[in-house]
């Protein structure tokens, strides 16, 4: 009898530990969403309080990252295989890059380094937290569904605020203390929802569209819920007028279908009907601001504008490639990318006075962490794709297929999107992507 009680006690403790790990992961992701939504609200209504929230998020992720490193050192084993190993090497490249800063500039700017660390390194902690926090396929699916629902709700808020454009515009300018509205070519009002930045919102909606698409194609239950999430997310993607998010949307869905090898053609065709319906609705929408009459006209002009600004992008590319060639080991965290934007770091001794903020995340990584750090990051993404694809070929469960196909679509979408924007340095976006990456790796290992 005592043996049975001991066994039951151990089993209950194991279940409790599994649930606690999942809850902590979920709460951490909710906190990161809360930070992205509440930062501007807190800075307006409670000036200074937003700093404490940022500090709390950073502290939690730092502790998670340190725990992961201590666990690896104590066990001499890297859970998650080569993907996690490459991410660890990437993190180490960033941490040690402070030496590179001193070697080149003969000084160190701790504030710039801290901003670069917060944006480039800390989001990686979500991959380790998700891998250790997920213990079964059911938990993985719940997390994916939770992320889809939160993003879908943000899309609904975005659409609702877009319907009352004049009132929302006044509130946006007041709250974010911006002198101008988030307008694009032709004065088109860009949807931001309560994420306040059309770039962050657009990229997140593109990723959520990929997730919801895989839910529509694979899910055996609640298909209408997935369709609704997809519709709202797709509308948010388009009306953010973030062209990179349009590319990610198309590339991500195509990748998911290729990964699935279209073994479920009848479901794909049904989902395609939904996409066509959403497109017809979108193209008929009249825009609230700007000289464009409707969405279709604005989209066409935005696509044409891509080629009109190609000279500026090439110039940025040349300048930053020359700097990487001059110092291939990197200049250190905070010397490039979002941390080095003129509005924040132009007075820093470790930021070039004529710095051109390249709209290319690979250049930003190469400038900060050197060619070796960039290679580690690319190898991590490539290894993850290979692992996901190999496991997806054997996946029999519909939820498992949805999770892995979504992860594949997200990774490819981010890899392509990083060519045009510094999306791995955004608020919220890289955190959620690394969480999805960690979950997908865990799902791969659960049935390997």
Looking at 347-397, list the stretches that DSSP marks H as alpha helix, in order from N- to C-terminal side: 361-392
For 214-230, write each residue's pLDDT tens digit. 998 887 777 889 989 99
Would the pTM of this model clear 0.75, i.e. be above it? Answer: yes
Nearest one of 311, 409, 297, 313 to 360, comparing CA atoms: 313
Kindly list the distances between the CA atom of residue 188 and the CA atoms of 160, 265, 301, 313, in Å, as whole numbers in the listed order. Answer: 17, 38, 11, 22
Look up residue 380 and give its two tokens. 């991590």
Say what the pLDDT of residue 317 is. 75
CA distance 402 to 405: 5
For 365-407, write each residue's pLDDT tens digit. 999 999 999 999 999 999 999 999 888 888 778 888 899 999 9
For 274-307, write each residue's pLDDT tens digit. 666 666 666 566 666 666 666 666 666 666 565 5
Q: How many Cα atoms within 13 Å fall on the side-chain side of residue 407?
A: 33
CA distance 201 to 394: 34
Residue 147 near residue 28 (C-beta atoms within 8 A): no
The pLDDT of residue 262 is above 60: no
Task: Give 179's contacts (C-beta < 8 A, 6+ positions apart).
Answer: 173
Kindly list the distances between the CA atom of residue 390 and the CA atoms of 122, 141, 441, in Å, as whole numbers in the listed order. Answer: 29, 20, 12
81-90, 134-143, 177-186, 386-395, range with the lowest pLDDT: 177-186
For 433-443, write each residue's pLDDT tens digit. 999 999 999 99
Nearest one of 105, 101, 83 to 93, comparing CA atoms: 101
Look up residue 318 and give its two tokens. 């040349």
What string of DSSP letters covers 155-222?
Answer: HHHHHHHHHTHHHHHHHHHHHHT-SS--EEGGGEEPP-GGG--HHHHHHHHHHHHHHHHHHHHH-SS-
The pLDDT of residue 446 is above 90: no
Residue with tokens 């051109």: 356
For 65-95, letters b (16+ CB in 10 Å) and e give beebeeebeeeeebebeebbbbbbbbbebbb
The pLDDT of residue 15 is above 60: no
Kindly list the distances between the CA atom of residue 122 and the CA atoms of 196, 250, 339, in Å, as whole numbers in the listed order. Answer: 22, 29, 14
For 57-103, write each residue's pLDDT tens digit. 999 999 999 999 999 888 888 888 899 999 999 999 999 999 999 99
**19-26: long-range contacts (C-beta < 8 A, 24 or more apart)?**
21/132, 21/133, 21/134, 21/135, 22/133, 22/134, 22/135, 22/139, 22/142, 22/143, 24/129, 24/133, 25/129, 25/130, 25/133, 25/134, 25/143, 25/435, 26/143, 26/146
Mean pLDDT along residues 227-242: 92
Q: Taking CA 331 as the corner, what is the angle to CA 329 and CA 336, rounded to the nearest 5 degrees? A: 125
27-31, 162-166, 279-283, 316-320, range with the lowest pLDDT: 279-283
In the predicted model, what is the mean pLDDT of the chain?
A: 84
């Amino acid at each position: 009898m005592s043996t049975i009680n001991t066994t039951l006690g151990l089993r209950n403790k194991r279940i409790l530990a599994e649930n606690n790990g999942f809850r902590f992961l979920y709460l951490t992701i909710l906190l990161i969403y809360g930070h992205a939504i509440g930062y501007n609200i807190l800075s307006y209504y409670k000036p200074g309080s937003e700093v404490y929230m940022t500090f709390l998020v950073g502290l939690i992720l730092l502790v998670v990252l340190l725990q992961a490193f201590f666990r690896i050192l104590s066990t001499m084993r890297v859970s998650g295989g080569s993907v996690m190993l490459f991410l660890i090497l990437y993190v180490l490249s960033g941490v040690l890059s402070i030496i590179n800063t001193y070697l080149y500039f003969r000084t160190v700017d701790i504030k710039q380094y801290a901003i670069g660390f917060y944006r480039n390194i800390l989001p990686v902690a979500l991959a380790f937290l998700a891998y250790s926090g997920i213990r079964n396929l059911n938990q993985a699916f719940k997390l994916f569904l939770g992320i889809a629902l939160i993003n879908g709700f943000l899309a609904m808020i975005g659409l609702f605020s877009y319907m009352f454009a004049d009132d929302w515009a006044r509130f946006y300018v007041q709250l974010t203390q911006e002198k101008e509205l988030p307008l694009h070519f032709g004065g088109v009002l860009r949807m931001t929802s309560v994420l306040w930045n059309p770039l962050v919102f657009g990229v997140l909606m593109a990723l959520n569209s990929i997730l919801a698409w895989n839910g529509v194609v694979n899910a055996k239950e609640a298909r209408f819920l997935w369709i609704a999430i997809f519709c709202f997310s797709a509308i948010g993607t388009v009306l953010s007028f973030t062209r990179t998010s349009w590319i990610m949307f198309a590339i991500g869905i195509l990748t998911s279908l290729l990964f699935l090898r279209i073994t479920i053609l009848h479901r794909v065709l049904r989902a395609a009907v939904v996409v066509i319906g959403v497109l017809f609705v979108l193209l008929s929408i009249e825009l609230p601001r700007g000289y464009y009459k409707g969405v279709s006209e604005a989209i066409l002009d935005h696509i044409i504008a891509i080629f009109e600004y190609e000279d500026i992008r090439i110039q940025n590319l040349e300048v930053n490639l020359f700097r990487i060639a001059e110092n291939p080991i990197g200049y250190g965290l905070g010397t490039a990318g979002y941390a080095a934007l003129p509005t924040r770091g132009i007075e820093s001794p470790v930021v070039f006075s004529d710095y051109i903020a390249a709209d290319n995340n690979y250049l930003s990584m190469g400038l900060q962490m050197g060619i070796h750090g960039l290679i580690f990051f690319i190898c991590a993404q490539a290894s993850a794709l290979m692992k996901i694809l190999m496991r997806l070929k054997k996946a029999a469960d519909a939820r498992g297929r949805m999770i892995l196909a979504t992860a594949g679509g997200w990774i490819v979408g981010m890899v392509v999107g990083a060519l045009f924007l510094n999306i791995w340095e955004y608020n919220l976006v890289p955190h959620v992507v690394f969480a999805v990456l960690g979950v997908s790796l865990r799902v791969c290992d659960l049935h390997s």
